[in-house]
Amino acid sequence: MEQGQWRQARRLVREARHAIALTGAGISAESGVPTFRDAGGLWKSYRPEELATPEALARDPRTVLEWYAWRRSALADCRPNEGHRALARFFLGRGESGLVTQNVDGLHTRAALEEAGKGPAEAALPLELHGAVGRDRCQSCAARWPAEPLGETLPQCSACGGLRRPDVVLFGEALDADLLDRARGLAEQADLCLVVGTSAVVYPAAALPLATREAGGHIVEVNVRRTALTEAATLALRGEAGTILPALLDRQSGSPR
Ligand code: APR
């Protein structure tokens, strides 16, 4: 990466009054979590219509719940990487929430709790636009619990008897309206939107960086390749999130190795 681009990126970070970050599956790739659309990504093995839709859940709940149980088990050994940690330190340091993720792997939350140590982790906790695979939600009354291992019978809500399902947004389901409103408000107030590890093809998440730009802010993209958003970015930093983010965000760091 040429030095002028790097200096400009560090200046945008330093001077940002309100910064937000939108992350996608790419930030968790270095933690061993498969992305969705890269070669070998999750969707390469399954068609979304087979598994991640309300129709599939109604038609064949056990298969859908077993797929998510598999995804949870695949995540059990994954840990936050240096990209998650750098973002957690950045928002903890600013003391202002701004982390929005499309990921359901819970790694940003773990990074926030691990980096916060004794201080309040709130500023680094993400808005999880697509939910979290580590939580269950009642299909009927929306009660929520930490996810439990799948038993012989389909899990039922203890409050109303509805189906307990992963607390994730399936294709075709609406996102949580309050969460989306909060994310849109943050994007419109921000003068810097970091876009990390997303192909930026899924809406409404992909519209958030454009809201920052329309309000006069800058988009800085961190990705290993071009995306649908690259054209709209003030700067596109090519490389892995785990290498670029610590160098970009940590106060006393230099340029990436
Ligand atoms: N560092 C930075 N970027 C990376 C890295 C890395 N180490 N590895 C991969 N990437 C980039 C890829 O180049 C790609 O642009 O991460 C992006 C991953 O894109 P997708 O697989 O499409 O994942 P995402 O953008 O998060 O998908 C959005 O689609 O399937 C739905 O709900 C699902 O939340 C998901 C949404």
Span 21-79, pLDDT tens digits = 999 999 999 999 988 888 877 777 777 667 899 999 999 999 999 989 988 988 999 99
Q: Break the chain into its structural domains and give their ranges.
A: 3-33+79-130+175-249, 48-76+135-168
Are 3-33+79-130+175-249 and 48-76+135-168 in the same CATH fold? no
Average confidence (pLDDT) over 150-172: 95
The residue-averaged pLDDT of 176-189 equals 97
24 lines ligand 1 (CB under 6 A): yes
Fold of the CATH domain 48-76+135-168: SIR2/SIRT2 'Small Domain' (3.30.1600)
By C-alpha distance, which of 147, 161, 168 is closest to 102? 168
CATH of domain 3-33+79-130+175-249: 3.40.50.1220
133-158 pLDDT tens trace: 999 999 999 999 999 999 999 999 99
Position 180, amino acid: L
How far apart (Å, rounded) are the C-alpha atoms in residues 254 and 79?
Answer: 25
Q: Is 130 a catalytic residue?
A: yes
pTM for this structure? 0.94
Q: What is the pLDDT of residue 256?
A: 62
Give the nearest ligand 1 atom to 26 CA.
16
109 lines ligand 1 (CB under 6 A): no
Residue from 35, 53, 84 whose mutation best tests the ligand 1 pocket (most atoms within 8 A of CB): 35
Strands 144-146 and 131-138: antiparallel
Q: Of 29-43, 117-131, 151-165, 239-253, where does mean pLDDT reach its minimum?
A: 29-43
